[in-house]
């Protein structure tokens, strides 16, 4: 292929996390284990919420949606990475790269939206407990999830269409284990200023709105907890938020840490290794956080496992 504006490319090359052959088997085994834990852990959460009638509440409805999204989020990147390691190939087709990028952006954005919706649910539960069932009715919960899906899909579509309009040259090596938007845009031959503007503007607006909503909800929650007179009441209120707050902290700390460190180091390889935290580790840990810190989930899981054993 000659250098120039040619979008009729066949495939990109995913360089992965390491070029050393002796590490490939270790990486394959490690990521396979993490992926299986992620899938089975989140499936157990979904199964527990579906089968246990006392978990049919807005809080666990949102949690089951988050677990489903986490499974999809991990499935957009890890299976292709494992396939490339097993076959000792690095290629991903142009169409496959665009599709992977679309779903990765969509599920990452959806994760952000669902965490914000869950923060609002905890805000209503603690600050307006008497009106909780009226405010957080089934119709509103379904609407919040539907809007989250639509907004995430539209944002992902916008970002992916902008990449489709780019022209690429002969350098098609992506220093990552998946088609990360920023890395793909860097490979373009032409001017990518508009792509950068759209990418950072959408990330700033959507991420900023979600983070502001979460911080506002928890500021009100903290104020409400401080006004509770009994220590038992304070502990109960805090325990209902502990799991969600842990997941929010893990998601935002790893996500921001990756992009701030990559901006400081300017190293694509370091960014690829650091991105493992929010693409693989965070979805894997979410079921553990909710099951270990939530008595209702632990009780439901014990009953499900007991029935399975019998």
Encode pLDDT of 247-276 as tens digits: 888 888 877 766 666 555 555 666 777 788
pLDDT band for 4, please (50, 70, 90 cuts): very low
The order of strands in the sheet holding 91-93 is 91-93, 11-14, 173-174
Q: What's the pLDDT score for residue 255? A: 75
Secondary element (H or E) of residue 279: none
pLDDT band for 309, please (50, 70, 90 cuts): very low
> How far is the C-alpha of 75 from the C-alpha of 58, rounded, in Å?
26
Q: Is 266 helix (H, G, I), strand (E, B) or coil?
A: coil
> Which region among 93-97, 212-216, 293-297 has the lowest average model confidence (pLDDT)?
293-297
| The pTM of the whole model exceeds 0.85 | yes
Q: What's the pLDDT score for residue 199? A: 87
Q: 14 exposed, middle or buried (CB, 10 Å; 0-12, 13-18, 19+)?
A: buried
Helix, strand, coil tally for the chain in percent (to 5): 80, 5, 15
Q: What's the pLDDT score for residue 258? A: 67
For residue 39, report the phi and psi dihedrals to the nearest 5 degrees: -65, -50
- The chain-wide mean pLDDT, for the chain, equals 87
- 219: its two tokens: 């500021």
> How far is the C-alpha of 17 from the C-alpha of 77, rounded, in Å?
13
Encode pLDDT of 12-69 as tens digits: 999 888 888 888 999 999 999 999 999 999 999 999 999 888 889 999 999 999 999 9
The ranges assigned to domains in the chain are 11-309
> How far is the C-alpha of 83 from the C-alpha of 205, rounded, in Å?
35
> How far is the C-alpha of 141 from the C-alpha of 261, rounded, in Å?
36
Q: What's the pLDDT score for residue 1? A: 38
> Which of 1.20.1070.10, 3.50.50.60, 1.20.1440.230, 3.90.1530.30 would CATH assign to domain 11-309?
1.20.1070.10
Encode pLDDT of 109-125 as tens digits: 999 999 999 999 999 99
Encode pLDDT of 205-230 as tens digits: 988 899 999 999 999 999 999 988 88
């Amino acid at each position: 292929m000659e250098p120039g504006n040619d979008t009729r490319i066949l495939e990109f090359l995913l360089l992965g996390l390491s070029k050393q052959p002796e590490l490939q088997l270790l990486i394959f085994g490690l990521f396979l284990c993490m992926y299986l834990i992620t899938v089975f852990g989140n499936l157990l959460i979904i199964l527990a919420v579906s089968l246990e009638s006392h978990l049919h509440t807005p809080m666990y409805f949102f949690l089951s949606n988050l677990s489903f999204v986490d499974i999809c989020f991990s499935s957009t990147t890890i299976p292709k990475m494992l396939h490339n390691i097993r076959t000792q190939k690095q290629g991903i087709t142009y169409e496959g790269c665009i599709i992977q990028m679309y779903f990765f952006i969509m599920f990452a954005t959806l994760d952000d939206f669902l965490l914000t919706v869950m923060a609002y649910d905890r805000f209503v539960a603690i600050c307006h407990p008497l009106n909780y069932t009226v405010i957080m009715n089934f119709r509103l919960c379904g609407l919040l999830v539907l809007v989250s899906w639509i907004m995430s899909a539209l944002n992902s579509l916008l970002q992916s269409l902008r990449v489709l309009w780019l022209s690429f040259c002969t350098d098609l090596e992506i220093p990552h284990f998946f088609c990360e938007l920023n890395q793909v845009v860097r490979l373009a031959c032409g001017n990518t200023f508009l792509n950068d503007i759209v990418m950072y503007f959408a990330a700033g607006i959507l991420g900023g709105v979600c983070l502001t909503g979460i911080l506002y909800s928890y500021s009100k929650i903290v104020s409400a907890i401080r006004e509770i007179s009994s220590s038992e009441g304070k502990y109960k209120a805090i325990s209902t938020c502990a799991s969600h707050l842990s997941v929010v902290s893990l998601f935002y700390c790893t996500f921001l840490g990756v992009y701030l460190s990559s901006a400081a180091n300017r190293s694509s390889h370091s960014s690829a290794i650091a991105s493992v935290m929010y693409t693989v580790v965070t979805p894997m840990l979410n079921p553990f956080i909710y099951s270990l810190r939530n008595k209702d989930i632990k009780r439901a899981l014990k009953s499900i496992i007991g029935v399975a054993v019998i």
